[in-house]
Amino acid sequence: MASQSLPATHDVPREPAPASTAPGQADSPRPELYAAQLEQSRQQAEDQLLALRTLQQIAQSLTSELNLDKLLRKVLRSALDVMEADAGSLLLHDPATDQLVFEVIEGGASEALKGRRMSSADGIAGWVFTHGESLIVDDTSKDNRFYADIDKSFGHKTWSLICVPLIITGKKIGVLEVLNKISGARFTSADRDILSALAAQSAIAIENARLYQDLWEERNRILAVEEEVRKELARDVHDGPAQLLSAMVMNIRFIQALLTDNSISSVQDELHSLEDLATRTLRQIRELLFDQRPLILETQGLFAALETYVRNLATSGEMAITLDVAQACKPIKLPGKADRTVFSIVQEAIGNVKKHARGASVHITITHQNGHLTVSVKDTGPGFDVNQVKDTYDQRGSLGLLNMQERAQQLGGVLRIESALGQGTEVILTVPLNAQPRTLSPRA
C-alpha cells in the first residue's frame, strides 16, 4: 500500500508590523499648534483680568455718583467700553405702567429714542426683564424676539447683542443692552459674565441714587411746606394779634392823654375798650397756639380736639361751623400719630374755606363703617371746578390740596374733593382704623 502523504502547509502573507512610536507622541499636536493654543489661552486670561480690573474701577466710580442721570450715562458708557461695542441702551422699569423706558442711549438711534416706552414683555429686552436672565443673540435676524421696528424707525442695523437684567435684592429694575462688537466678533459667555457683574453693581448704584433723589425731593418739599406754614403764620399774626396789639398801644396812649386832662369818665370807657382788645388778642394767640400744637389732641384724642377746635371757631364768630360725630366713633382711638394727621387735614380744609369761601358755613361729619373712619368737611361756599384746579395746580403758589393728598397717603387712606361752581365744596377723607403714619415710598 502506498503511503499517504500529508497536505502541504502554505504560509499566508501578512502586513508588516507598524514601526513602534514613542509613548504619547501619536496623540500630541504639533509643537507650533500647541504653542498657538497656549498663547491664545494666555491672551484670553489677560483680557479677562484686564476687564475685571476695569470692572472694579468702574464699580468704585459708580458708587460715588448720586446724580441719577449722570449715573445712568456712566453705566452705559462703561458697558460699551468693557464690551467694545458700538451702541447700547439702558432701560428702567416703570411699575405704574409696567413698561420699560429708554433712559440712556448711545450710538444707533441715540437721543431720538430717549424716553420711548415699550411693554415689559416686548422684544429681547422685555424677555430678559421678564425672565430675569441674561441673553446673547448672535444673529438678530433669526430671533423672533428681536424688536426690529426700532432699527427700522431710526435707521440702525443691529446684528448681534447681549442683554442682562438689572436686579437688586430680587427686585428687577431694568435691563442693560449692548449691540454689535466693534471688531465684528461675537459676544462670548465671558462677555456675558462680565456684563452681568457690571449690571449687578450698577443696580445697587442706581437704587442708591434713586433713594438719594427721593430724599432730596422730599427735603425740598418739606422745606416748601415749612416756608408756606411760616408765611401763613406770619399773615395770621399780622392780621390778628399784631393789629389788636397796635390798637391797644394807641388806646394806652389815648388814656395817658385823658389822665393828663383829668377826664376820669372817659378813661374808664377807654379801659373797658382796652380790656376788650386784650381779651380778643389773648383769644387769637391761644387759637394760633392751638393750631400749631393742640395739646388736647395728645391728651384726649382726635374727637375732643375737634370739638374744642370747632367750639373756638364758633365762639370767635369767624364762621358758622358744626361738628357731628357718630356715637360709634367716640370709643375709637387711632394708633400712633394718625389722629394728628387727620386733624391736620381737617385744619387744612377749614383753612381753605377761610381763604376762598369767607362767610360760608361749614359742617364736619365723622362716621365709622367697615373698619374705616370717614371725615367729611362740607361748606356752602361758591365751589370750584376740581379738574381745572388740578390741571393748573403746578402753576399755583398754594400747596394746600397737595398737603392733604400726601397726608392721606401717609395713612394709607383716600382723599376725595367734590365741588362744583355754586354748589359748595366737600372734602372727604377715608382712612383705615389701623392707620399708621408712614413715609411715602419713592417713585420707582
The domain spans of the chain are: 44-215, 295-444
Residue 367: per-residue pLDDT? 93
Q: Which CATH number describes the domain made up of 44-215? A: 3.30.450.40
- Count of alpha carbons within 13 Å of 246, Cβ hemisphere only? 7
pLDDT at residue 28 in the model: 53
Residues of the chain where predicted confidence (pLDDT) is lower than 70: 1-29, 34, 39-40, 42-61, 63-64, 108-111, 149, 151-155, 223, 225-226, 229-230, 234, 261-263, 265, 286-287, 289-293, 336, 392-400, 435-444
Contacts of 131-135 with CB under 8 Å at 24 or more apart are 132/165, 132/167, 132/172, 133/165, 134/162, 134/163, 134/164, 134/165, 134/192, 134/195, 134/196, 135/162, 135/163, 135/164
pLDDT in tens, 344-360: 899 889 988 988 888 89
Residue type (1 letter), 297? L
Q: What is the pLDDT of residue 262?
A: 67
Contact criterion met (CB below 8 Å) for 203 and 168: yes
Residue 429's pLDDT is 94
Task: Give the neighbor-by-neighbor strand order of the sheet with 362-369.
Answer: 321-325, 362-369, 372-379, 425-432, 414-419
User: What's the rounded Cα separation, in Å, for the pair 103 and 125?
Assistant: 13
Gyration radius of the chain's alpha carbons? 40
Long-range Cβ pairs for the range 368-371 (8 Å, 24+): 368/326, 368/328, 368/329, 368/332, 368/433, 371/432, 371/433, 371/434
CB 426 within 8 A of CB 417: yes
Give buried/exposed letters for 41-65 (b at 16+ CB in 10 A, else e).
eeeeeeeeeebeeebeebbeebeeb
- Cell 428681536, located at residue: 146
Which is it for strands 321-325 and 414-419: parallel, antiparallel or unpaired? unpaired
State the Cα–Cα distance between residues 199 and 164, nearest whole angstrom.
Answer: 7
What is the model's pLDDT at position 48?
Answer: 65
CB 381 within 8 Å of CB 417: no
**b/e code 223-235 from CB counts within 10 Å (16+ = b):** eeeeeeeeeeeee
pLDDT at 359: 85
Could you tell me which residues are beta bridge partners of residue 372?
A: 369, 432
Classified as helix, coil or strand, 175 is strand
Note the CATH architecture for domain 295-444. 2-Layer Sandwich (3.30)
- Residue 418 pLDDT: 93
pLDDT digits (tens, 9 = 90+) for 252-267: 777 777 777 666 767 7
Look at the pTM and tell me if it is higher than 0.75. Answer: no
**pLDDT computed for residue 11 by the predictor:** 46
In this structure, are residues 145 and 123 in contact, taking their beta carbons and an 8 Å threshold?
Answer: yes
Q: Facing residues of 260 across strands? A: none
